[in-house]
Amino acid sequence: MRVVIVIPTYNEKGNIERLINILEEEIFPKIKKHQMYILVVDDNSPDDTSGEVRKLMKKWKNIDLNLGEKLGLGAAYVRGMSYAIEKMNADILLEFDADLSHDPKKIPEFLEKIDEGFDMVIGTRYSGGGSIPKNWGINRKIQSIIGNLIVKTILMRFWIHDWTGGFRALRSEVFSKEKKELTAFRGYTFQVSFLHKVLRDGFKVAEVPFHFQDRTLGKSKIVPTEYVVDLLRYVITARIIELYHSPFMKYAVTGFIGYLINSITLEIFSEWFLIAPFFAAAFSSELSIVWNFIVNNFWAFGKHRITNPWKILLKFPQFNLVSIGSVVIISTVVFLGTHLFGNNTFVRQVSLVIAIALFVIPYSYSMYNIFIWKRWHISSLSWLQKLVG
């Protein structure tokens, strides 16, 4: 397949020369399966980066240059990737920084993941042996780590370890599908928003750990405050929109009605049918579980609805197992709460709300998405997802 390494540049004259030499002389000869191309996306850098690239284009024929107005990193990527697909017939695109922060030796590993069937491969500095530079000041380290944590938490997708990095590989179809929605993010928020949309649309994403090297030449183009404000604005609004449209709201409504069913039928079984509390609680909980399973299946997770009767027979016990997990969480939190703060109505009710909001919702919603209806594809858990059927 035709692979285009898209390298955005702004004042990277020295770096681009070093990088292209390494790619052409050390990396490309080792890649036999694919035809490798380079596209430098430059915004008319005042240091004449493009002049340097033109010189390199005489030496190697697999290099192209795309020039345009400086509108930020995201805009450069959208322009460059469109060019790579339309003019260079790219099947696979790579996002790569010019400043040698990304390890070119890792490129074959990214391509192997694509060959295995993944749609996008994310370089990660925060898992599996990846790292950020040791010589980064403490502020920069904290910013990077906390920034990632905030994005992960707000977007509720914890299995992606590195949201903000810019070392990635993807199939051209992925970019073509998301392109329309990416034009709004001109700066670095592009990386987060792109990945977020890719996951939303159910593309298969893998991670490859790498060591991020600090640039040795030239200056960073990040404007930290602008980046943080932009990023927070994106993740918060995206999350609100997603919540409004997503199965999450339907799941929450279903769960709340399930809770009412549980509590009302508990009273009915106890008061009207005089059933002993243990069994009354068991029947009423099971009724609520049946309600949750049916309504989630047809409504909240309707797009991934299970209709095959055998599959329902397989999934219903699994669903019960997940529900038992929720019961264990609630019992533990209520136990701890009453143990620490006294056994009274206030402590019990507050513990219950805390248990549900902080633990049961993230737990059960993730379990439904990963194991029951499988909306989320998680590479590190794919063996377990297969195992549960």
Ligand X SMILES: Nc1nc2c(ncn2[C@@H]2O[C@H](COP(=O)(O)OP(=O)(O)OP(=O)(O)O)[C@@H](O)[C@H]2O)c(=O)[nH]1
User: Rounded to the nearest whole angstrom, what is the least distance from the CB of residue 331 to ligand X in the complex?
Assistant: 46
- Locate tokens 């980046």: which residue? 227
Number of H helices, E strands in the chain: 14, 7
Cα atoms in the 13 Å half-sphere on the side-chain side of 371: 20
The gap from C-alpha 118 to its chain's centroid, in whole angstroms, comes to 14
Q: Which does 111 bind (CB under 5 to 8 A by kind): ligand X, Mg ion, none?
A: none
User: Rounded to the nearest whole angstrom, what is the least distance from the CB of residue 39 to ligand X in the complex?
Assistant: 11
Q: Which does 367 bind (CB under 5 to 8 A by kind): Mg ion, ligand X, none?
A: none
Q: Is 9 in the site for Mg ion (CB under 5 A)?
A: no
User: Rounded to the nearest whole angstrom, what is the least distance from the CB of residue 40 to ligand X in the complex?
Assistant: 9
Identity of the residue, 53 or 155, whose beta carbon is nearer to Mg ion in the bound complex: 53
| CA dist., res. 234 & res. 245, Å (int) | 16
Q: Which does 42 bind (CB under 5 to 8 A by kind): Mg ion, ligand X, none?
A: ligand X
Window 90 to 109, contacts with Mg ion (CB under 5 A): 97, 99, 101
Q: Is 66 in the site for Mg ion (CB under 5 A)?
A: no
Window 213 to 232, contacts with Mg ion (CB under 5 A): 215
Identity of the residue, 211 or 221, whose beta carbon is nearer to ligand X in the bound complex: 221
Q: Is 12 in the site for Mg ion (CB under 5 A)?
A: no
User: Rounded to the nearest whole angstrom, what is the least distance from the CB of residue 106 to ligand X in the complex?
Assistant: 15
Cα atoms in the 13 Å half-sphere on the side-chain side of 94: 31
- Locate tokens 């919702």: which residue? 361
User: Rounded to the nearest whole angstrom, what is the least distance from the CB of residue 286 to ligand X in the complex?
Assistant: 52
Q: What is the DSSP string of 78-109?
A: HHHHHHHHHTT--SEEEE--TTS-S-GGGHHH
What is the DSSP-derived secondary structure letter of residue 211?
B
Q: Which residues have CB under 8 Å from 249's CB, separation 6+?
A: 243
Of 321, 319, 314, 293, the C-alpha closest to 305 is 293
Interacting residues with ligand X (CB under 6 A): 8-10, 12, 41-43, 70, 72-73, 76, 97-99, 101, 166, 215, 220-222
Residues that bind Mg ion (CB under 5 A): 97, 99, 101, 215
